[in-house]
Amino acid sequence: MRQIRYKLAFASFSIITFLLVGCSSKIMKSPISYSKENTLETKVDSVMKLMTLEEKVGQLNQYNGFWEITGPTPKEGQAAKKYEDLKKGLVGSMLNVKGVKDVRALQKIAVEQTRLGIPLIFGFDVIHGYKTISPIPLAEAASWDLEAIKKSAEIAAEEASSVGLNWTFAPMIDISRDARWGRVMEGAGEDTYLGSKIAVARIQGFQGDLKSNKNILACAKHFAGYAFAEAGRDYNTVDVSESTLQNTIFPPFKAAVDAGVKTFMNSFNELNGIPATGNSYLQRQVLKGDWKFDGFVVSDWGSINEMIPHGYAKDSKQAAEIALNAGSDMDMESSAYVDHLVALVKEGKVKESLIDDAAKRILKVKFELGLFDDPYRYCDETREKETIGSPAIQEGVLDMARKSIVLLKNENELLPLKKSGQKIALIGALANDKTSPLGSWRIAADDNTAVSVLEGLQAYKGNQLSFAKGADVAVGRTQFIWETKINMTDKTGFEEAIAVAKNADVVIMVLGEHGLQSGEGRSRADIGLPGVQQELLEEIYKVNSNIVLVLNNGRPLAIPWAAKNIPAIVEAWQLGTQSGNAIAQVLYGDYNPSGKLPMTFPRNIGQVPLYYNAKSTGRPIMNEPDSVFWTHYIDEKNTPLYPFGFGLSYAKFEYSDLKLSSNTFAKDGKIEVSINVKNSGKVAGKEVVQLYIRDLIGSITRPVKELKGFEMIELKPNETKKVVFSIDEKTIQYFTANSRWEAEAGDFKVFIGGNSEKTMEADFQFIN
């Protein structure tokens, strides 16, 4: 029986290769040579013509890797069903398959054993690297270095594609303002302008032009509103205004479409009471309609069936009907499409034309990936071996890691460290942790593969280095968060750490979050230093206050005591495989830090969500500072601990001479704004010069400041550079009360500085 099916498949595959007129000889020799006249559409149509309804629905089905692929075939349960579906041509894509051997084995089934031999797409969460891990995306965003971020995505694509993958579920481009939400680590922070630029850089890095098999499909996710989960609790209800949706949440997604992203992922949350997966306003009207997105939309994991507990669908069949009609093209791991869509078409509940549209979108992308030319074009064991963790990839992630570090405080120039003659105490379990810096999105990375801070510092031999753990951050098996417990009680290591600190010239404390404390499903209600670390910090401070605090974390932390008392603070996030080397190079001044915070650091969890581009309100702070009746807390300041855009350098930058080419401009005109930046420090350094505006009166109230441009400059000691920005109609446009993007006439302020708080300012007017 199997033999016959195989033969049939082979016969039909000959037909398809014959008809496709675009297939090279790798699969089999086609009698017809490649014809350039065939457009993507005609190629897709030629396949569509051969397909049954069942096979079209099959293209919309994505399964998670489900059995020991090169072992015996599964005989029962879900795995057996998936295996059977695969052989029947009822699977369009797989996710979480690791390595060329497994990818090839599955692709072989799709190509050789199904009736039409349509190849699969292989997706994976390459969030910040595949096996060699780069900094978490929030950290990369802190670099404000678009070229470096693009390069980092390119490197990740190179490694991932070498193991047979051709699709990453990244970048996450949700603008996130709530530090409690665990997934802030996966995005570019709180600002729409910066987030849009980074979205484009990452998409370009992953995808290139897709001609090379070193590039992979990108996926703009999660569409839309996911980061606005109430109370920062993952998967929670979202309730946002039209203005926030249009002005804050949508722009990075629109930028992603304009940059040619091939796929979108919808989100788990509801929007206006309708789950995003079943939301045709989002997927059909905005994305595929207004924005003309011509790739395909994949559901989030199981999100089609999640419409049942949402209270929006009564069962999986109705969920499939709603999702498909609303424009979700591919079903990730719900089985709802493959189980029900054929019947739904027959019952007239889903139009076949909509199935056709979804299948065509997916086939088109398969053609663009070159899979019909060669389904194994990502499967090369030699390349896999040579690429994984290659020196060039390691150098690339190290470069990105250095650029992601933010210097938050440096009193009395405690940093950089002297290279000799110093007794250095290194304290904190995270300093000797080779797994935590890899973060939680490290599906393919091996434990214990990051360079620890201890190892990084050991490479500098001039000083005497002593290490004491002080206290564990997490206890238990730390592979999975549910098996990990934060150490709330064990202080037995304090004594040793105190003794080591007493005897040192400088104490370096590496404290913060365990790598599994941020990421999906890892919201926190308390964003201080976890466990007993705050106490450890205070105990060490009592015996030696000459402390450099190195933070490891996947979100902004509320650390008011440290900010007040500790002389030097370095934000080192989770920096990936080369973490310890990058940190050591910054601490020793071999790399001068230039990162700037992409998210506000609050003083207190009670202030969250706290973001720089907030509204003034009717009772802003300056009106009646001595009264109760203005917007404030009675027990905490309104201001952040560290504002958006903040970050120091070992150089010193002075801003002067803010000048406008004119104070007014009209339609089609522009103003040039210039400023001089001088390095008055002793070493060369890089500074991110930031441009903000404020629209004083709007048809919808406007934020007190909005980032509208930035430029990274490098200055030698005593050097001055003039930085010029241009302001035109596009700069001041927003989604107004007229429900369209436009510039409104009126008065504006422009601000330039090295962070969102400390700026020089001037006024200008736009005349319509």
Give the catalytic positions in this structure: 300
Sheet holding 568-571, edge to edge: 406-410, 568-571, 547-552, 506-512, 423-427, 464-468
- Non-local (6+) Cβ contacts of 495 within 8 A are none
Residue whose CB is less far from ligand BGC, 195 or 685: 195
Residue for token pair 């605090």 = 549
Contact of 553 with 573, CB cutoff 8 Å: yes
Residue whose CB is less far from ligand BGC, 229 or 732: 229
CB of 221 to ligand BGC, least distance (A): 6
Residue whose CB is less far from ligand BGC, 62 or 585: 62
**Does 520 sit near ligand BGC (CB under 6 A)?**
yes
Contact of 218 with 204, CB cutoff 8 Å: no
Task: Return the closest-CA partner of residue 60 out of 430, 305, 269, 340.
Answer: 340
DSSP tag of 24: -
CB of 125 to ligand BGC, least distance (A): 5
Question: Alpha helix (H) ranges present in 120-235?
Answer: 137-141, 146-162, 192-207
Residue whose CB is less far from ligand BGC, 102 or 125: 125
> Which residues inside 108-127 make contact with ligand BGC, applying CB under 6 A?
125
DSSP tag of 620: -
Q: 3-state secondary structure string, 681-732?
A: CCCCEEEEEEEEEEECCCCCCCECCEEEEEEEEEECCCCEEEEEEEEEHHHH
Rg (CA), the chain: 27
CB of 313 to ligand BGC, least distance (A): 19
Write the single-letter amino acid at 379. Answer: C
> Which residues inside 352-381 make contact with ligand BGC, applying CB under 6 A?
none
Residue whose CB is less far from ligand BGC, 235 or 630: 235
> Which residues inside 123-152 make contact with ligand BGC, applying CB under 6 A?
125
Using DSSP's 3-state secondary structure scheme, residue 4 falls into helix
- Non-local (6+) Cβ contacts of 439 within 8 A are 128, 133, 136, 185, 515, 518, 519, 554, 574, 576
Q: How many Å apart are CA 160 and CA 267, to the nearest integer?
A: 24
Residue whose CB is less far from ligand BGC, 263 or 318: 263
Q: How many Å apart are CA 138 and CA 582, to the nearest integer?
A: 16
Residue whose CB is less far from ligand BGC, 57 or 218: 218
Q: How many Å apart are CA 166 and CA 183, to the nearest integer?
A: 24
CB of 103 to ligand BGC, least distance (A): 17
CB of 64 to ligand BGC, least distance (A): 8
Residue whose CB is less far from ligand BGC, 170 or 548: 170
Contact of 463 with 417, CB cutoff 8 Å: yes
CB of 332 to ligand BGC, least distance (A): 7
CB of 546 to ligand BGC, least distance (A): 43
Residue whose CB is less far from ligand BGC, 440 or 452: 440
Residue whose CB is less far from ligand BGC, 295 or 512: 295
CB of 107 to ligand BGC, least distance (A): 20
Contact of 94 with 63, CB cutoff 8 Å: yes
Q: What is the helix, strand, coil percentage profile of the chain, to 5?
A: 35, 20, 45
Structure tokens at 157: 């694509």
What is the CB neighbour count within 10 angstroms for residue 662? Answer: 11
CB of 301 to ligand BGC, least distance (A): 4
Structure tokens at 256: 């992603």
User: Kind and range of the H or E element at 382?
Assistant: helix 381-387
Residue whose CB is less far from ligand BGC, 132 or 168: 168
Q: Give the nearest residue (CB) to ligand BGC.
A: 169
CB of 195 to ligand BGC, least distance (A): 16
> Which residues inside 283-342 make contact with ligand BGC, applying CB under 6 A?
300-301
Using DSSP's 3-state secondary structure scheme, residue 195 falls into helix
Pairing of strands 568-571, 547-552: parallel
How many residues of this chain interact with ligand BGC, rule: CB under 6 A?
6
Helix and strand numbers (H, E) in the chain are: 22, 28
Contact of 17 with 30, CB cutoff 8 Å: yes
Q: Given candidates 169, 337, 372, 642, which one binds ligand BGC under the rule CB under 6 A?
A: 169
CB of 520 to ligand BGC, least distance (A): 6
Pairing of strands 506-512, 547-552: parallel
DSSP for 491-521 reads: -TTHHHHHHHHHT-SEEEEEEE--GGGSSTT
Residue whose CB is less far from ligand BGC, 20 or 362: 362
Question: Alpha helix (H) ranges present in 190-335?
Answer: 192-207, 242-244, 250-258, 280, 316-326
Residue whose CB is less far from ligand BGC, 440 or 579: 440
How distant is the alpha carbon of residue 627 from its chain centre?
42
Using DSSP's 3-state secondary structure scheme, residue 432 falls into helix
CB of 501 to ligand BGC, least distance (A): 42
Site track 188-227 with ligand BGC (rule: CB under 6 A), x = hit: ---------------------------------x------
CB of 264 to ligand BGC, least distance (A): 12
**CA pseudo-torsion sign 238, 241, 245, 248:** negative
Burial of 35 (0-12, 13-18, 19+ CB in 10 A): exposed
Residues at the site binding ligand BGC, with contacts judged by CB under 6 A = 125, 169, 221, 300-301, 520
